[in-house]
A and B are shown apart, each in its own frame.
Chain A
Amino acid sequence: MKKLLTVLLASLLCVGAAIGLTGCKAKSDYDKIKEKGYFVCGITLFNPMNYFNDEDELVGFDTEFANAVAEQLGLKAKFQIISWSAKYLELNSGAIDCIWNGFTYGNESDGVSRTEYVDFSYKYLLNGQCVVTSTANLSVLNSAAAFAGKKGMAEGGSAGEELAQSLSSVYTATTSQANALLELKSGTVDFIVIDATMANALVGQGDYNTLSINPAIETEIEEYAIGFRKGSDFTAKVNEAITTLSANGKLAEIAAEYDLSSALIENIGAK
């Protein structure tokens, strides 16, 4: 009996070793990306990070940032609009290669750190969550307590979800931050929580001139970073490129173009 067990264990070990070896031979994530010649960034359309300008070109800080990194690596960047709540599924299934869309380094709304799901790049941009209401409502919704029972909304799986839920128990998740703005404008919700970068770029002007950033709620400062598959060697490659772009001023140039100079983190990755 003992002998049989030994034989069994030994053969199991052999099989395990064989799998391990083939595992070593398997191509790394970055090898696969190099082979393709491009990497796919999972995005939602969201001003000023990734959006279509009047000429119908995909522009934005993150768009140009990704293109610059791609150039550094001798690759191409492709952009795929995804459903934000499916971002980890998209990433792990290989349908996208990174989450690069004003992705906050922090927690999911359930309090689980996003580092459980992805490997982050260096942080590159400061951001905060921002409560937006209609301008007419500013005087009513003037304290955190006043939000109780009001209809709140944020993008499902976004950094703002936690705040929205803590302000009011009447909460609905939507598919994108842009959608949340639309809902607020049409009056179907009373307040939304979105990224400060986006709110600064859109609220109080153009289509959204009836809306205001609500100063009653103060939020903590957060940072944006790029999310990669856990254990991917692509992260280090992108980090190298970011360090270069930060040092040579290219990143500052892009930030200036999108009015984000004050939010940009300087000397990224410098020792």
Chain B
Amino acid sequence: MSFELINSKLLVGFGTTCLLFLLTLVLSLPLGLLIMFGLKCPFKPIKWLCNVFVWAIRGTPLMLQLFVVFYVPSMLFGLRIFSFTSTTVFDGRFIAALITFVINYACYFSVIFRGGVDNISRGQFEAGKVLGMTKSQIFFKVILLQVIKTVIPPVSNEVITLVKDTSLARVISVAEIFFINETEILTKAIVWPLFYIGVFFLLFVGLLTVLFNYIEKKLSYFKA
């Protein structure tokens, strides 16, 4: 196989990896916030349900969840929701992987967010209250940015883990970079793409590190 061919295959795979990563990030952060509200809900059954959910998701391997999401709906309930194919990357496998990743990461994020909110002093909420703000105004205008500042380091850890976790999607045959390499390139006894892939990931994570440093610096003007 020529370099151009391998290169183009790997780029396509990396495109899928990036897409899976970005969509997971964009969707799991708000969902994490929502689950966080559930974890802090004064209504006990919701709080309890959310806690059990987070426990179940964090307590089981991501790989297991991928299998469950992709195979169980049709095997147990006859719902072939993920069996559709597509000319784009968005086939059933990709969507199943995306859903699994979003739920999994949202649970991790929700716990990080809860820690962030618990860290904000009660005085900030009370100051908002006595200034006549509504609960949502207090959260979005006063608390949120402070939470963001305090959760940036743990979130950046999770995000970098996510970059690498995307490779797990290959267990349900999502054509991300490792899957392509494993099925189409490595089997031809060509090993240099392994280093090539390594460089991809290093660059990607390097970029994210720069981004997070930038955000941290941007928020360093105040002390939460």
Contacts and interface: CB of A to CB of B under 8 A. Distances in A.
Decide if A and B touch, CB cutoff 8 A. yes
A93 B75 contact: yes
Q: How large is the interface on B (under 10, 10 to 19, 20 to 34, 35 or more residues)?
A: 20 to 34
Contact of A94 (B83, B182, B188): B83
Contacts of B175: 81
B101 interface: no
Contacts of A208: 189
A80 B71 contact: no
A63 to B, nearest CB: 14
Contacts of B82: 95
B182 A38 contact: no
A176 B187 contact: yes
Q: Quick one: which of B1, B175, B187, B188 has the most chain A CB within 10 A? A: B187
B85 A89 contact: no
Nearest to A178: B187
Interface in B184-207: 184, 186-189
B75 A92 contact: yes
A52 interface: yes
Given A94-B80, A182-B186, A40 B85 contact: yes
- What secondary structure prevails in chain A residues at the interface with B? mixed
B85 to A, nearest CB: 6
Interface string A65-90: 00000000000001011110000011
Given A44-B183, A56-B5, A93 B83 contact: yes
Contact of A78 (B8, B85, B187): B85
Q: How large is the interface on A (under 10, 10 to 19, 20 to 34, 35 or more residues)?
A: 20 to 34
A267 interface: no
A38 B85 CA distance: 10
B151 to A, nearest CB: 36
Interface string B87-102: 0000011000000000
B85 A179 contact: no
Contacts of A80: 85, 173
Nearest to A185: B189
Contacts of A207: 188-189
Contacts of A92: 74-75
A45 B85 contact: no
A92 B83 CA distance: 11
A44 B75 CA distance: 22
Contact of B184 (A52, A90, A95): A52
Contacts of B171: 83
A175 interface: yes
22 contacts: A40-B85, A44-B183, A52-B184, A54-B1, A56-B5, A56-B9, A78-B85, A80-B173, A81-B173, A81-B175, A81-B183, A89-B71, A93-B71, A94-B80, A95-B83, A178-B183, A178-B187, A179-B187, A182-B186, A182-B187, A207-B189, A208-B189
